[in-house]
Structure 1
Amino acid sequence: MTATTGRDGVRLGLRANLAQFSLLVLVNALVGGMLGQERTVLPLLADEVFHLSAYTAALTYILAFGATKAVTNFFAGTLSDRYGRKPVLVAGWLIALPVPAMLGWGPSWGWIVAANVLLGVNQGLTWSTTVIMKIDLAGPQRRGLAMGLNEAAGYGAVAATAMATGALAEHAGLRPEPFLLGAAYLVLALGLSLFAVRETREHARAEAALHPVQAPEERELTTAQVARRTSLTDRALSAASQAGLVNNLNDALAWGVFPLLFAAHGLSVAQIGVLAALYPAVWGAGQLVTGWWSDHVGRKVLITAGMLLQSAAIALVAAGTGLPLWAGAQILLGLGTALVYPTLLAVIGDVAHPAWRARAVGVYRLWRDGGFAVGALLAGVLADAYGIRAAIWTVAALTAASGLVVAVRTYETRPHRHHGSHG
C-alpha cells in the first residue's frame, strides 16, 4: 500500500492515512447500525402493532427512507465539495437525533414514516461523506479495498444490529428497547465526528494535482454535466448506476417483504432476526475480500457475476420454504451483493476526475438508493395484486436483467488497465 505525496505534503494511501481511515471505518459502522435497528423489527411493527394489512401501506417507511436518502445523496456530494466533508457528516448526525425516540415511542404509523424521512437524510449525508472521505484518503491504487472496508463495516453493523434487535424484541417486546441501541450509536457517532474526524477535501485536491493534464471540459464539469455523464452518457458510470438501483431494489424486498414471508410460515421473531442478519453479515464480511479482489481481477466480471448470483438467491427464496433453505438463500444473496457493492463504488472512483468525483458519487448514490423507493413500491403493489411470491419472482428476473446490462454495456475501469477516454 504505497503512499503518494501530493501538493503541500498531503499524502495519499491507506497506510499513510491509517488512523483517520480506521476512524472513518468505525463511524460508518455506526451509520450501518442506525439502519440495522430497523431491519428485523419494523416490518413486524407494521403488522403487529399498527395492523397494516396491505403490503404497500406497510412498506411506506422504506419508500420514504429510500426516496429521501436518494435525494440527500445527490446533495451530499455537492455540499461536501462546497463546504467540506466534515460539516456535512456532522449535520447528518444532528438530523438523526430524534429518530430512536420516534421509532420507540411514536404513537402512529405516520411517526414511523417521519422517522424514516429523517433517517434517510442521516444515511444520505453520513454514508455518502464517509465514502467520499475514504476515496479521498486512499488514492487510486487501493480504491476497491478502501470501499470494501467501508461497506463491510457498514453492513456488518447492519447485520449485528438486526440480530441484536431481534433478540431484544423476542425478550422485551418490539418497542422501545430495540431502538435504545440506535440511540447509543447516535451519541457515539456524533462525538467522534465532531471531535476526532478531520477534513479530507485537501486529499482530493492533491490527487487532482497529480492527474495527467486534461482539457478543462473534462475537468471542470457543471453539476448538470456530472449528472448526465454518470446517469446516461458514460457507459461504465451509467451501467453502475442502473446496477446500483436494482441492487437496492432487491435489498428493499429483503428488508420489507422477506420478514413478512418468514412470519407467515411460522418462524419466530428470533428466527426472523437470524435470517435478517445473515444476508447483511455475509454481505459485510464478503466485502473485505471482494473490494480487494476487484483491484486485482477487474470490476466488470465481479459486478456481472454478483447480480446473477443475487437473482438466483432471490429465486430460491420464492421457490422454497423452511429455515435451512431460506438461510442458504440469504447467504447466497449476501455473497452476490458483496461482489457488487464496493465494486460499483470503485468504478465511480476510477472514472470520475477528483475535481467532480464527490458529485459523481452523489449522483450514483441517488440512483442506487432510489432503488429502495422503487423496490418498496414495486414489491408492495405486486404483493397486494398477485401475492408475495409473485413479487419476489419479479425482482429475481429484474436482477438477472441488470447483470446482463452490465455485461453488455460497461467497460473495464480498473486504473492500471484503463487507458483512453470512453463516452
Structure 2
Amino acid sequence: MTTALTGPAQTRRAPSARRTLIGTGIGNAVEWYDWAIYATFAPYFAAQLFSNTDPTSAILSTLAIFAVGFVARPFGGFIFGWIGDRIGRKSSMTLAVGLAALGSLLIGISPTFGAVGAWASLLLLVARLIQGLAHGGELPSSQTYLSEMAPREKRGLWSTLIYTSGTVGILGGTLLGAVLSGVLSKADMAAWGWRIPFLIGAAFGLYALIMRARLKETDAFEHETVQERHEPMWPQIVRHRRQALQVIGLTVGLTVSYYIWGVVAPTYASTTLGMDRGEALWASSIALVVFIAILPLWGRAADRFGRKPIMWASALGAAAMHYPMIWLLRDSPWQLTVSMSVMLFFIAGSAAIVPAVYAELFPTSIRTVGVGVPYSICVALFGGTAPYLQQWLTGLGSANLFNVYSVALLLVSAVVVFTIPETKAKDLSH
C-alpha cells in the first residue's frame, strides 16, 4: 500500500526536487559555457596564443586544440565514471565542475605568445585537457544523477534539463560574445576582451561547486549493496559491450550535428562566409532560444509515446533538412537564424531524451562509467574533430564531403535505434 505525501513530508520533497534541478542545471550550464566559449572566442585569441605571422594557421591550430581537448574526454569519462559508480554520483559531479572552472581560469590568465613564446600555446593545451577531463566526467555523472532522481514517469522531461541548462550556458557565452563585440573595438577584443568570458566561467564554476556540494546522493546508488558497488569494473564493461556500442551509435549523428549547428555555426559563418561577427552571434542566440524552448516538448512526447519514435523523428528529420539548410545559409544573419533553428528543432528530439535513454540501458553498478566511456570516445572521435574537419575540407573546396559525412552519421543513429529496447518509465533501482 502506498500513501500520498502530505504536510511536512511533501514540503521536504519539493525543496529537494528544486535543489536537485538547480544544482544539476547550474553546474551543467557552467561546464557547457566553459567548453563552448573556446570555439566562440577562438578567432580573437588565436593570434594571441599562437604566432600571428599566419592568421589561417593560428585559427587552425586553435581548432586543433579544441579537438585535442576531446581526447581527454574518454579518460574523464572513465575516471569520473569510476568515482560516480564507486564513491557516488554527487562526488563525481562536484569534482568535475571544479576542474572545469580551473581550466577556464588558466585560459583567462594565460600569457600571450609574444610574451612567453610557445609556452602560451602549451598552457592553452594543458587547460583544454583539464577541461576535457572535466567535461568527459560531467555529462555521464549529471545524466545519471538526474535520471536516478527523476520520477520514472517524467524521466524524459527531467532529462531535458541536461541540454536545456547546457544550451543556456552556450547561449550565455554567445550573448556575452555579441555584447563584447559591440562594446569593445576589435583591437581591445583581441588584446584583452577575450579573457573576460573565461574569468567569468571560473567564478561561476566556484559557485556551482558549492551548490553541488549541498546535494543529496541518489537512492539508487545508496541502496546498492557493498558487493554490487565493488564488483570489478572491467568485467562489467565487457559484459555490457552491446549497450556501450549502442551509446556510440545513438550519439554519433547527434554529436556532429549539434556541434556544427549549435556551437560553431556562428564562427563558421563569420570566418568562412564573411558574415559580421556580432550579427552572427545574435542570429545564433535566437536559434539557441528556439532550441531551449522545444526541448521540454520533445521530453514530454517521449514520456507519452516512447523513446524510439522520438529518436527516429529527430535523426531522420535532421538528415532530411541538412542539405536544404546548407543551401539556404549564405552571408545574411536571417539565413543563419533560420537554418540553425530548423536544424536544432530536429536535433532537440534526441538531445532532449538521450540522458534518460543512456541511463536506462545500464544497471546501477555500472551506469555512470558504462555511459561515460563510450559516450566520450564517440564525442572525441566525431564531435571534437567536426569543426576542424569542416574548416579543412571547406578550405580544400570539398565542403560537400563534410555534408555527406554529417548526413550519413545521422542515418547511422537512426538505424541503431532499431537495436535498443523501449525503456520508457523503466525502474532504475537495479
Instruction: Indicate the TM-score class for this superposition, using the shorter chain for normalisation.
Output: 0.7 to 0.9
Q: State the match for 2:213 in structure 1.
A: 197
Question: Against the structure 1 CA distance between its residues 196 and 123, is the aligned structure 2 distance closer, same or farther, given a 3 Å change threshold?
Answer: closer
Q: Is 1:227–2:227 an aligned residue pair? A: no
Q: State the match for 1:421 in structure 2.
A: none
- Return the match for 2:56 from 38, 49, 53: 53
Question: Against the structure 1 CA distance between its residues 408 and 195, is the aligned structure 2 distance closer, same or farther, given a 3 Å change threshold?
Answer: closer
Pairwise mapping of residues 171-210 of structure 1 onto structure 2 (< 5 A)? 171-172=183-184, 173-174=189-190, 176-194=192-210, 197-198=213-214, 200-205=216-221
Q: Residues of 1 paired with 2:409 and 2:212: CA distance?
A: 40
**TM-score when normalising by structure 1:** 0.81
Q: State the match for 2:142 in structure 1.
A: 130
Q: Is 1:99–2:104 an aligned residue pair? A: yes
Which runs of no fewer than 5 residues in structure 1 stay unpaired? 210-215, 419-423
Query: How many Å apart are 1:257 and its aligned residue?
Result: 6.4
Which runs of no fewer than 5 residues in structure 2 stay unpaired? 114-120
Q: State the match for 1:345 in structure 2.
A: 355
Question: Against the structure 1 CA distance between its residues 324 and 169, is the aligned structure 2 distance closer, same or farther, given a 3 Å change threshold?
Answer: closer
Q: Residues of 2 paired with 1:3 and 1:23: CA distance?
A: 29
Q: Is 1:267–2:248 an aligned residue pair? A: no
Q: Residues of 2 paired with 1:12 and 1:82: CA distance?
A: 28
Q: Residues of 2 paired with 1:160 and 1:185: CA distance?
A: 10
* Equivalent position amino acid for 2:136 in 1: G
Q: State the match for 1:42 in structure 2.
A: 42
Secondary structure at the aligned position of 2:56 is classed as coil
Question: Against the structure 1 CA distance between its residues 34 and 251, is the aligned structure 2 distance closer, same or farther, given a 3 Å change threshold?
Answer: same
Query: How many Å apart are 1:411 and its aligned residue?
Result: 3.1
Render the CA deviation track for 1:69-93: whole Å, top value 9, x for unaligned.
2331232111122222333333334
Query: How many Å apart are 1:247 and its aligned residue?
Result: 1.7
Q: Is 1:66–2:35 an aligned residue pair? A: no
Q: State the match for 2:245 in structure 1.
A: 238
Q: Residues of 1 paired with 2:80 and 2:3: CA distance?
A: 28
Q: Residues of 2 paired with 1:3 and 1:100: CA distance?
A: 50
Q: Is 1:326–2:336 an aligned residue pair? A: yes
- Return the match for 1:296 from 296, 304, 322: 304
Secondary structure at the aligned position of 1:40 is classed as helix
Query: How many Å apart are 1:111 and its aligned residue?
Result: 4.0
On the 8 A contact 1:103/1:176 being kept in 2, the answer is no
Question: Against the structure 1 CA distance between its residues 24 and 407, is the aligned structure 2 distance closer, same or farther, given a 3 Å change threshold?
Answer: closer
What fraction of aligned residue pairs are identical, expressed as a percent? 14
TM-align CA RMSD: 3.6
Render the CA deviation track for 1:117-156: whole Å, top value 9, x for unaligned.
2222232233433223222322533221221023211112
Query: How many Å apart are 1:60 and its aligned residue?
Result: 0.5
Q: State the match for 1:213 in structure 2.
A: none
Render the CA deviation track for 1:184-218: whole Å, top value 9, x for unaligned.
34323323423663354452235668xxxxxx99x
On the 8 A contact 1:312/1:396 being kept in 2, the answer is no
On the 8 A contact 2:251/2:413 being kept in 1, the answer is no
Secondary structure at the aligned position of 2:421 is classed as coil
Q: State the match for 1:151 in structure 2.
A: 163
Q: Residues of 1 paired with 2:362 and 2:47: CA distance?
A: 44
> 402-411 or 65-74: which moved more?
402-411
Q: Residues of 1 paired with 2:43 and 2:320: CA distance?
A: 24
On the 8 A contact 2:258/2:347 being kept in 1, the answer is no
Question: Against the structure 1 CA distance between its residues 264 and 376, is the aligned structure 2 distance closer, same or farther, given a 3 Å change threshold?
Answer: closer
Render the CA deviation track for 1:299-342: whole Å, top value 9, x for unaligned.
11111221223234432343232332332110012112211113
* Equivalent position amino acid for 2:148 in 1: D
Q: Residues of 2 paired with 1:264 and 1:373: CA distance?
A: 19
Question: Against the structure 1 CA distance between its residues 391 and 317, is the aligned structure 2 distance closer, same or farther, given a 3 Å change threshold?
Answer: farther
Q: Residues of 2 paired with 1:3 and 1:71: CA distance?
A: 45
Q: State the match for 1:309 in structure 2.
A: 317
On the 8 A contact 1:13/1:139 being kept in 2, the answer is no
Q: State the match for 2:117 in structure 1.
A: none
Count of aligned pairs: 401
Q: Residues of 1 paired with 2:305 and 2:16: CA distance?
A: 25
Query: How many Å apart are 1:106 and its aligned residue?
Result: 4.1
Q: Residues of 2 paired with 1:144 and 1:338: CA distance?
A: 13
Secondary structure at the aligned position of 2:364 is classed as coil
Q: State the match for 1:212 in structure 2.
A: none
Q: Residues of 2 paired with 1:384 and 1:23: CA distance?
A: 43
Q: Residues of 1 paired with 2:292 and 2:425: CA distance?
A: 25
> 337-346 or 191-200: which moved more?
191-200
On the 8 A contact 1:100/1:183 being kept in 2, the answer is yes
Q: Residues of 2 paired with 1:336 and 1:373: CA distance?
A: 21
Question: Against the structure 1 CA distance between its residues 229 and 3, is the aligned structure 2 distance closer, same or farther, given a 3 Å change threshold?
Answer: farther
* Equivalent position amino acid for 1:404 in 2: A
Q: Residues of 1 paired with 2:222 and 2:94: CA distance?
A: 24
Q: Residues of 2 paired with 1:295 and 1:4: CA distance?
A: 22
On the 8 A contact 2:254/2:315 being kept in 1, the answer is yes
On the 8 A contact 1:103/1:111 being kept in 2, the answer is no
Render the CA deviation track for 1:6-45: whole Å, top value 9, x for unaligned.
xxx9x99888533233232222222222234234221454
Q: Residues of 1 paired with 2:310 and 2:401: CA distance?
A: 26
Query: How many Å apart are 1:225 and its aligned residue?
Result: 4.3
